[in-house]
Amino acid sequence: MITRQRLAAGVCALLAFLAAGIAFPAGAVADEISATAPKVELLLDVSGSMRARDIDGESRMSAAKQAFNEVLDATPQEVQLGIRTLGANYSGDDRKTGCKDTAQLYPVGTLDRTEAKTAVATLSPTGWTPIGPALLKAADDLKGGEGTRRIVLISDGEDTCQPLDPCQVAREIAAKGIDLTIDTLGLVPNLKVSRQLSCIAEATGGSYTSVEHKEQLSDRVNQLVDRAADPVVKPVAVKGADSCTDAPVVKSGFYTDREEFSQHRWYRVEVAPGKELRASVSIAADRQVHPDYGVLLRAVTVHGREIVRGESAGTGRTDLVSTGLRYPKPESDDEDAPAEVVCLQVSNSFSAAPGVKTTPGMPLELTVDVVDGPDQASDVASFGLGRGWWLLGALVLTGFLAGLLWGWISRWRFSVWRTN
């Protein structure tokens, strides 16, 4: 016989079992999310030179703190963020000790905004500029997981701990294949500083930005943190040719290449009848360039006749220039009609500032998509009025008939009036 006590015990055991069953998969899901979460570490130079007051009338340190607070407020929930400093703790003259001065201010993980802001508020410009050692430590901080990894380095000076060259450190990090990007921001418009920071970024496919205003610093760091949360599609490396004849054939996909200043790169795409080619290209100005620039993307036949083009130009400081094009290939009455070979030409009008290395070329990203073309009615519409011709014809006919009717009524009324 089942007593009340046994029944109650059975119900409790069942509830406990269900609770355990539900909790386990929830924990597993959390672990899975954590494993794929994007990771970002902000690496801040806190050396003595950050006391200089040349950013909108405030010190570089003050501008950096303000930027960090704004970034911490805007960091996406899914991003695991950490903060590391360099030159924040040792103010002495011993080089060996100063070049070890890098510490993790806030560990990479789920962000507690209040705790992170409190940690940033304690910073004060102190010592050396050990960029190389700090990069090595930051790379270790980001180990583990399958998500994207990004270091955002903010500095106002050259590394003071040679011969450990930070540019070479960045190359070694990239060579390990750990899929880590380093973006750099320079707080001083200094040629030597910009060269070193550009080289660090370039080694890992990152970007370099020269910053002179507080708002610019906040906006750029925010962009880079947000970019870490974007879904990642890894591009396929391809090497464009100097002519269409030698160009590689590319299919629908995302490609990466490098293009030197004022260079032309060619790629070939096969477009079957009834299909539409959609292509876009972006070129990153990952080093100091002159303020006038442009990017051109052309679709050309194998005989050199231009089909369509997309272009973009500008003036002033920029990090990226993009343009695109669309080419619908009309249907053919011949079912066996071959695909048309379309040559894509990418060219740029960037020019290097004095002393800036022109090799390797600037990062180029090419997106190619060959999709089903628009239907016949849309084809007509894309090259003329399309369905609008029907509307125009109906309006003309309606107007003509209305004119005849009105003329007949007017004549009838006039004849009636004369009779009376």
Choose among 360, 7, 338, 73: nearest CA to 198. 360
The closest alpha carbon to 129, from 48, 239, 29, belongs to: 48
Is there a domain that residue 175 lies in?
yes
How crowded is the C-beta side of 391, counted as CA atoms within 13 Å?
A: 5
Mention every residue, 6+ apart, whose C-beta is less than 8 A from residue 331.
Answer: 273, 274, 373, 376, 379
**Do 193 and 146 fall within a single domain?**
yes
Torsion of CA 227, 230, 231, 232, to 10 degrees: 0
Residue 4, domain member (yes or no): no
Strand partners, 85: 44, 103
What CATH code is carried by the domain that includes residue 269?
2.60.120.380
pLDDT in tens, the chain (420 residues): 444 444 444 444 444 443 444 444 444 434 444 678 899 999 999 999 899 998 888 999 999 999 999 999 999 989 999 999 998 999 888 988 999 999 999 999 999 999 999 999 999 998 899 999 999 999 999 988 888 899 999 998 888 887 778 888 888 888 776 678 899 999 877 788 888 888 888 888 788 888 888 888 988 898 888 887 776 566 788 999 999 999 999 999 989 898 999 899 999 999 999 999 999 998 888 777 888 889 999 999 999 999 999 999 888 777 778 899 999 999 888 888 899 999 999 999 998 878 787 877 888 889 999 988 765 434 433 334 444 455 566 666 777 677 677 777 767 665 665 665
- In this structure, are strands 39-45 and 149-155 parallel, antiparallel, or unpaired? parallel
**How many folded domains does the chain comprise?**
2
Edge-first strand listing for the sheet containing 80-86: 102-109, 80-86, 39-45, 149-155, 180-186, 208-210
- Determine the pLDDT at residue 146: 80
Residues 130 and 261 in one domain: no
Model pLDDT, residue 394: 67
- The encoded tokens of residue 150 equal 């990004």
Asked if the structure places residue 153 within a domain, the reply is: yes
> What local confidence, expressed as pLDDT, does residue 359 receive?
78
* Residue ranges making up the domain that contains 167: 33-229
pTM, two decimal places = 0.55
State how far the Cα of 100 lies from the Cα of 96, in Å rounded to an integer.
7
- Residues 221 and 240 grouped into a single domain: no
Helix axes 166-175, 131-141, angle to 10 degrees: 20
Domain end call among 212, 229, 246: 229
Specify burial of residue 75 (Cβ count, 10 A radius: 0-12, 13-18, 19+). buried
Q: pLDDT value at position 114? A: 94
* Rounded alpha-carbon distances, angstroms, from residue 405 to 3, 234, 396, 399, 410: 97, 68, 14, 10, 9
**Are both 248 and 373 inside the same structural domain?**
yes
Structure tokens at 80: 């695991």
CATH code, domain carrying 124:
3.40.50.410
Q: For the beta carbon of residue 191, count every other beta carbon within 10 angstroms.
A: 13
d(CA 142, CA 155): 20
> Cis peptide before 338, with omega less than 30 degrees from 0?
no
What is the 3 state secondary structure string of the chain?
CCCHHHHHHHHHHHHHHHHHHHHHHHHHHHHHHHHHCCEEEEEEECCHHHHCCCECCECHHHHHHHHHHHHHHHCCCCCEEEEEEECCCCCCCCHHHHCCCEEEEEEEECCCHHHHHHHHHCCCCCCCCCHHHHHHHHHHHCCCCCCCEEEEEEECCCCCCCCCCHHHHHHHHHHCCCCEEEEEEECCCCHHHHHHHHHHHHHCCCCEEECCCHHHHHHHHHHHHHHHHCCCCCCEECCCECCCCCCCECCCEEEEEEECCCCEEEEEEEECCCEEEEEEEEEECCCCECCEEEEEEEEEECCCCEEEEEEEEEECCCCEEEEEEEEECCCCCCCCCCCEEEEEEEEECCCECCCCCCCCCEEEEEEEEEEECCCHHHHHHHHCCCCHHHHHHHHHHHHHHHHHHHHHHHHHHHHHHHHC
Q: What was the pLDDT predicted at 289?
A: 84
Domain boundary among 210, 229, 248: 229
Residues 39 and 149: beta-carbon distance below 8 Å: yes
- Domain-embedded: residue 388: no
In a domain, 411, yes or no: no
245 found inside a domain: yes
Structure confidence at residue 367 (pLDDT): 92
> What does the pLDDT read at residue 199?
86
Asked if residues 226 and 76 have their Cβ atoms less than 8 Å apart, the reply is yes
Asked if 50 and 86 touch (Cβ cutoff 8 Å), the reply is no
**Residue 19: inside a domain:** no
Same domain? 211 vs 311? no
197 and 168 in a common domain? yes
Give the per-residue pLDDT at 332: 86
Using the 3D structure, point to which of 209, 229, 249 is the last residue of a domain. Answer: 229
Whether residue 299 is found in the same domain as residue 315? yes
CA 139 to chain centre: 21
Please check whether residues 263 and 308 belong to one and the same domain. Answer: yes
Q: Which amino acid is at 69?
A: N
Whether residue 102 sits in one domain with residue 209: yes
Question: Is 83 inside any structural domain?
Answer: yes
347: nearest Cα among 304, 308, 301, 309:
309
Asked if residue 105 and residue 138 are part of one domain, the reply reads yes
